[in-house]
Structure 1
Amino acid sequence: MEWYHQWESEYKTHKEEHELRTEELDECLSCELCYLIVNEPIVFKKFWDALFKFEDAIIIYNDVTIKGVLSLLSMDNSEREDTIHKGRCRDIMDRITESIRYRIQPKIKEKGLRAIILVIVRDCIERNLENEVFDRLIGNPELLEHKYILEDWDVKRRFEKFWQWYRVALEEIRAVKVKVEAIGKFKELLYEEEKIAESEEKVKELMQEITHENVEIDNVHEHHKNMVQKIIRVFIDTRGFTKEPEDSESEESPASYELENSSEEELEIIIGDKSWKFSELKRRTSSINEDQLKYIWKIGIKLMIEMDVLVTKTFIDKVQEIKEMDEEVGKRNSNM
């Protein structure tokens, strides 16, 4: 766990403040004196025993830990999964992991601990599948190698975001079908994290698991090479399609959308080093009606497509084509 040493240092400083009877103490979620246990439900004991099987570095919990677990149990699983990377579930998870005292630095990464906590709450407690969970995860090769696990439901959700981005980013070429092995290749790339920059061959393997049309274009080899780099960049920029902060202590959370002006005409969204200004898009695409323009602008922000690409006829036609294809698929599904 990457934050262990910082938390341990803060805990020791906080304990010294207690000993000195400091009037205004800094918050320390792992302090057993500030967060005395009021009630310890049986369900929490089940949670703690299960967590210890995965991470034996845990030694002490407090009222923050207990209330956090109860809060997770009060949520629908769909809400937990929707907010596991950002939102209510993530906030609760962060409080739980920070409230626990560890005897040594845990072997599992912080995001690995979050994933295990979710599995315990959902499968061990709510579904009463302890034995199945332990058989599946204790000694799991991915958990041992990467110090965290990627669950199938999460990988599929992230792949959907990738697929939406990929179809647009291809420009002239069309991505029409995902082959069976694509999800597995995608998962391998997620585990690469920022090392994906050194994994061009794996990126190419993912692209090979996608069926493309209209590949007879000029400079197709250059296009393919550029797409490899685009994929690498988007994996890094989006933290594997989660926008989750890196585990590294030196990294800060990615910037949120910043609203520069209240007027829609002057609205500017900034994410990291990229920006999208609505008035600029409007100025550079005068032939498009405003509703289409807003749609393209939102797509650009969501998929982090640079402004210079957004204004091209190729991109605009591509967005319209995909929109029509999706609408057609939706109609067919509704008639089934």
Structure 2
Amino acid sequence: MSDIYDELEEIKRRHEIEKHNESREEYQVDPSCLKCYRTDEIEIRDWFKRFWKIFQKVILEAMNYNRNTYTKLMEYIVLTRKDGEESYPSSKKKKNKEFEKIKKEEEKLLDIVVRSIRYRNKSDYRKIGIISVIKVICEHYIFSEDNEFILDDQTEENLLGNKELLTYRYIIEDDELDIRFAKFEEWLEEIELVTIKNKGYGTMRNFKEILHLEENIAEEENREKIKKFQKSITYQWWDGNKYPKPWMNDDLTDKIIEKIVETKGFVEEQSDVGELESSDDVRESNSNEGDEHIERIYRNY
């Protein structure tokens, strides 16, 4: 959140002036507004109270939540629930499309959750880190026979003991890691440097480590980590390879470093601010509509 704190403060300031002080017809939307998204007219259930208590133990700067926080977090938990009897599409292409669609919806909901929270000052965690904290907590929700959300007793321990989160202040999930590695493979094939034949758990572990280096990957002290990653890959040999021994080639090491810096770790840049401000999900609605929305989620799930 440290990366978007100033932006959120400016949105809050403009919204207060344009909406509540000057009563303009068109105004800056603020998903964190405690007046527009009041919680005193809805029931804040125990599942959320437990979430907030654990969340604040990591994100110490989190000060207030509102109806946006509550409803969008609920939608996220429901969206990511996996039933034991759920059948997945047999077509890999169809499965990938459905995964991408759900992932985009997840990102949209989590974006609103993060932006709906009021922070007393800048956190040590960036936005991606706060999202990681939310995801770790939400992974531990289970559903009772009455379809109530229940948080298991290991949640706090698993969150506070997560080494990746504590070390890097965010988590690269397995699905995300696979997507980034696929982009890495595509890049190698596009520029016809080398072709990867096989990768193992060690490869993916090393890949995650160098992604976490971010811009520091260019530091000389980290060069051996990239070399270790190169050596962990099994390459397809063919005469057209520009690098006959890619597992030890210094030029390939340089290319990998340059590409990771250029693409910020093979991450697609997203402009979620514009989408957020124009989205119907964050437009002010009256409290009755908010209540009906919450009850509809409970009824359907």
**TM range, normalised to the smaller chain?**
0.5 to 0.7
Distance in 2 between residues matched to 1:50 and 1:84, nearest whole Å: 29
Q: Name the SS for the 1:155 alignment partner.
A: helix
Say what the alpha-carbon RMSD is for the aligned residues: 3.4
User: Cα–Cα, structure 1 residues 224 and 84, in superposed 2: closer, same or farther, change >3 Å?
Assistant: farther
Aligned to 2:285: none
Could you report, residue by residue, the CA deviation over 1:181-205 in whole angstroms, capped at 9, with x for unpaired residues? 2111101111012332334332221
Matches within 5 A, 1:16-35: 16-17=17-18, 20-24=21-25, 25-35=27-37
In structure 1, stretches of 5+ residues that fail to align are 246-251, 254-336
User: After TM superposition, where is structure 1 displaced by more than 6 Å over at least 4 residues in a row?
Assistant: 215-219
Q: Does 1:120 align with 2:137?
A: yes
C-alpha displacement of 1:63: 1.4
Which of 106, 109, 113 is residue 126 of structure 2 equivalent to? 109
The code of the aligned residue for 1:212 comes to Y
Could you report, residue by residue, the CA deviation over 1:36-85 in whole angstroms, capped at 9, with x for unpaired residues? 22423413223222322321211111111112112212314579x94599
Indicate conservation of the 8 Å contact 2:196/2:233, yes or no: yes
C-alpha displacement of 1:29: 1.1
Matches within 5 A, 1:151-190: 151-166=173-188, 168=189, 171=192, 173-190=194-211
Aligned length: 245
Distance in 1 between residues matched to 2:266 and 2:101, nearest whole Å: 13
Aligned to 2:297: none
Q: Name the SS for the 1:114 alignment partner.
A: helix
Could you report, residue by residue, the CA deviation over 1:248-298 in whole angstroms, capped at 9, with x for unpaired residues? xxxx68xxxxxxxxxxxxxxxxxxxxxxxxxxxxxxxxxxxxxxxxxxxxx
Distance in 2 between residues matched to 1:84 and 1:57, nearest whole Å: 32
Bigger mean CA offset, 50-59 vs 127-136: 127-136
Indicate conservation of the 8 Å contact 2:63/2:118, yes or no: yes
Which of 175, 196, 199 is residue 217 of structure 2 equivalent to? 196
- Say which structure, 1 or 2, has more relative contact order (CA 8 Å, 6+ apart): 2
TM-score, scaled relative to structure 2 = 0.68
Indicate conservation of the 8 Å contact 2:15/2:28, yes or no: yes
User: Cα–Cα, structure 1 residues 213 and 36, in superposed 2: closer, same or farther, change >3 Å?
Assistant: closer
Distance in 1 between residues matched to 2:113 and 2:181, nearest whole Å: 28
Aligned to 1:210: 233
C-alpha displacement of 1:228: 2.3
Aligned to 1:4: 5
In structure 2, stretches of 5+ residues that fail to align are 83-94, 144-148, 273-301
Distance in 1 between residues matched to 2:163 and 2:56, nearest whole Å: 19
User: Cα–Cα, structure 1 residues 125 and 194, in superposed 2: closer, same or farther, change >3 Å?
Assistant: farther
Distance in 2 between residues matched to 1:244 and 1:67, nearest whole Å: 27
The sequence identity of aligned pairs, in percent, is 29
Could you report, residue by residue, the CA deviation over 1:62-112 in whole angstroms, capped at 9, with x for unpaired residues? 111112112212314579x94599621111111111110011212221101
Q: Does 1:67 align with 2:84?
A: no
Distance in 2 between residues matched to 1:176 and 1:120, nearest whole Å: 37
User: Cα–Cα, structure 1 residues 84 and 40, in superposed 2: closer, same or farther, change >3 Å?
Assistant: farther
User: Cα–Cα, structure 1 residues 92 and 219, in superposed 2: closer, same or farther, change >3 Å?
Assistant: closer
Q: Name the SS for the 2:154 alignment partner.
A: helix
Q: Does 1:136 align with 2:158?
A: yes
Q: Name the SS for the 1:87 alignment partner.
A: helix
Aligned to 1:224: 249
The code of the aligned residue for 2:206 comes to K
Indicate conservation of the 8 Å contact 1:57/1:102, yes or no: yes
* Greater gyration radius: 1
Distance in 1 between residues matched to 2:61 and 2:216, nearest whole Å: 28
Aligned to 1:145: 167
C-alpha displacement of 1:153: 4.2
